Structure 1
Amino acid sequence: MLGDLVEDVVVWVDGPLRHGTDSPARVFRRRGGSAANVAGFAAGRCPARFLGCVGDDPVGDAVVAELAGHGVDVRVQRRGRTGSVVVLIDPDGERTMLPDRGAATLLERVPDAWLAGLTHLHVPAYSFDGDPVGRTAVDALARVRRAGGTTSVDASSTGMLERYGRERFLALLAGLAPTFVFANRSESEFLGLLAGGLPGPERAGLPATTVVTKAGAEPTTVDAPGKALRTVPVPPVSEVRDLTGAGDAFAAGFLAGFLETGDLSGAAALGHRTAARVLASPGASFAGG
């Protein structure tokens, strides 16, 4: 996984925010970053490596050590200041994020040794937003593909996609031709991957890409080239307090399942089970862990 490794400051707000005065809340500090989250969640099922950049500072030391503690092979460059994200969680579990990515945007071309042995490289779209990390991500994906590996891109957020530009992002995806694109329904609709309510990667210029569209508690759709559209139900979840990291956990479970078995429906089901484990705990963490 290539991308951000930051500190998340997760704020569980008890009721509506009150402008200009106090609002009761609980505050948690967690290791964050979409790519780092995927690596951490995947490491329990398959070997996982993280590639990124953090500051040469105590926060950088802490998030590297935390991620490595999950069994991830962590490779980082050191420059600038480690990034942080304030994540406001409303009582329904929905997130409002205030990112300051810091050193995460400063990742420069990764050494060949960092890519050696990789069979799959996953990159969240956040990593294309800014340079030099954007150029580094494109270069690394191309190198893994040339070496015979598979790749995936997560659409990350509609806010990021709007800043980047829809047509520009679609052109980027067409050039990268990733094996998988992960998106939620809002992101898929923005990118035109949904037409008439059904995924349509060919219409978006992605004829060789499997598009996986999540829709909260509604079934996930898996649209693979040359195959019938698959819909995979989402099992009921007893408690939803914090959606942070749920999409990353789904991607981790899906990729681990696919790389192990090649079964798309089974991979999506494993993604759902992995995502369900994060919904009751603060930030991108499993309940009790």
Structure 2
Amino acid sequence: MLGVLGDLVEDIVVWVDGPLRHGTDSDARVFRRRGGSAANVAAFAAGQGPARFLGCVGDDPAGHALAAELAGHGVDVRVAHAGRTGSIVVLIDEAGERTMLPDRGAATLLAPVPDGWLDGLTHLHVPAYSFDGEPVGTAAVDALRRVRAAGGTTSLDASSTGMLERFGRERFLALATELAPTLLFANRDESAFLGLLVDGRPGPERARLAATTVVTKSGAEATTIDVPGEAPFGVPVPPVREVRDLTGAGDAFAAGFLAAFLDGLSAGLPDGGGLREAAARGHRCAARVLASPGASCPPD
């Protein structure tokens, strides 16, 4: 079973129709959606295999509603309740790019994870947002170590350059080196910031993650997969008809990739064959969210 540890929050998604006009009104459409990178991955993955979410929300109506909504996607939801439920304002420009204003609230209050929450997990995925704040940062590291000690695989997502700058580039690289995840997901800017993939080639810090496969997304351009000891290779991204909102696309990609990985499609990891198929499934999953508000998919 796939486990995902991290944030479950309310996204307030604002589609701005035209440039923001400072000091006065700007035309916009506003949507409320369940959000949080970890919750998004769990929700997208649950349609492809068993998935469990681990996190913390407030003991308030918003927290209970978000947990119920996530469970409605078939996710096994394990949440603690403390503080107040977090929210993120997501401003979407006309090109679909995001500017996020996070107030993570209770998501940072997850304490050490009970043993029962980890029972049956074969893989644990943690967005780097979960390292930023306490006690959730300590809880995330501890859970990753316990899953690895039990023989499971793990993955991290670099999350955002803003978060990495705030957390500290060297601090994150040192932590990732210590944790030695099976997979690390990043977009082009995050991977370059960390020195893992620069202009399509392994960067100066790549050797530090000697046991980790680095998966670098690049929008509409090919995703680069860098398997330790091999030359990086690209997996093309199929054309997408409409792009209105990039929110959740990276989470959907990770969900599709990990679902394929856990299905055994990546059994040929050393030669990259299984990873190509995993990336292809990730692309298909991500394409479904690009025309709808937030981390949501249009009805089939």
Q: CA deviation at 1:270?
A: 0.2
Aligned residue-pair number: 289
The two structures have a TM-score, normalised by structure 1, of 0.98
Q: CA deviation at 1:199?
A: 3.2
Contact 2:10 2:32 (C-alpha < 8 Å) held by counterparts: yes
Q: 1:202 to 1:226 in 2, by over 3 A?
A: farther
The two structures have a TM-score, normalised by structure 2, of 0.94
Identify the residue that residue 275 of structure 1 maps to in structure 2: 286
Identify the residue that residue 26 of structure 2 maps to in structure 1: 23
Please, which runs of 5 or more residues in structure 2 have no aligned partner?
267-273
Contact 2:192 2:203 (C-alpha < 8 Å) held by counterparts: no
* Aligned: 1:12 with 2:15: yes
Contact 2:194 2:205 (C-alpha < 8 Å) held by counterparts: no
Counterpart residue type for residue 8 of structure 1 = D
Percent of aligned pairs sharing the same letter: 79
* Aligned: 1:147 with 2:150: yes
For 1:201 and 1:264, locate their aligned partners in 2 and report how far apart those are by CA, in whole Å: 24
* 4+ aligned runs moved over 6 Å, structure 1: none
Q: Secondary structure at the match of 1:241?
A: coil
Q: 1:146 to 1:66 in 2, by over 3 A?
A: same
Q: CA deviation at 1:195?
A: 3.9
Identify the residue that residue 136 of structure 1 maps to in structure 2: 139
Match of 2:167 among 164, 168, 185: 164
Identify the residue that residue 231 of structure 1 maps to in structure 2: 234
For 1:207 and 1:240, locate their aligned partners in 2 and report how far apart those are by CA, in whole Å: 36
* Aligned: 1:190 with 2:183: no
Deviations 1:183-224 (A, max 9, x none): 000000000001453135873400000000000000001111
For 2:156 and 2:237, locate their aligned partners in 1 and report how far apart those are by CA, in whole Å: 22
Deviations 1:44-84 (A, max 9, x none): 00100000000000000111011000000000000000000
Identify the residue that residue 250 of structure 2 maps to in structure 1: 247
Q: Secondary structure at the match of 2:126?
A: strand
For 2:204 and 2:150, locate their aligned partners in 1 and report how far apart those are by CA, in whole Å: 25
Match of 2:99 among 96, 111, 129: 96
Q: Secondary structure at the match of 1:182?
A: strand
Identify the residue that residue 288 of structure 1 maps to in structure 2: 299
Contact 2:89 2:102 (C-alpha < 8 Å) held by counterparts: yes
Q: Secondary structure at the match of 2:5?
A: coil
Counterpart residue type for residue 129 of structure 1 = D
For 2:251 and 2:206, locate their aligned partners in 1 and report how far apart those are by CA, in whole Å: 26
Identify the residue that residue 220 of structure 2 maps to in structure 1: 217
Contact 1:201 1:209 (C-alpha < 8 Å) held by counterparts: no
Counterpart residue type for residue 133 of structure 1 = V
Counterpart residue type for residue 99 of structure 2 = T
Please, which runs of 5 or more residues in structure 1 have no aligned partner?
none
Q: 1:217 to 1:194 in 2, by over 3 A?
A: same
Q: Secondary structure at the match of 1:205?
A: helix
Aligned residues: CA RMSD: 1.1
**Correspondence 1:88-127 to 2 at 5 A:** 88-127=91-130
* Aligned: 1:207 with 2:210: yes
Q: CA deviation at 1:259?
A: 1.1
Task: Identify which range, 193-202 or 177-186, moves more after superposition.
Answer: 193-202
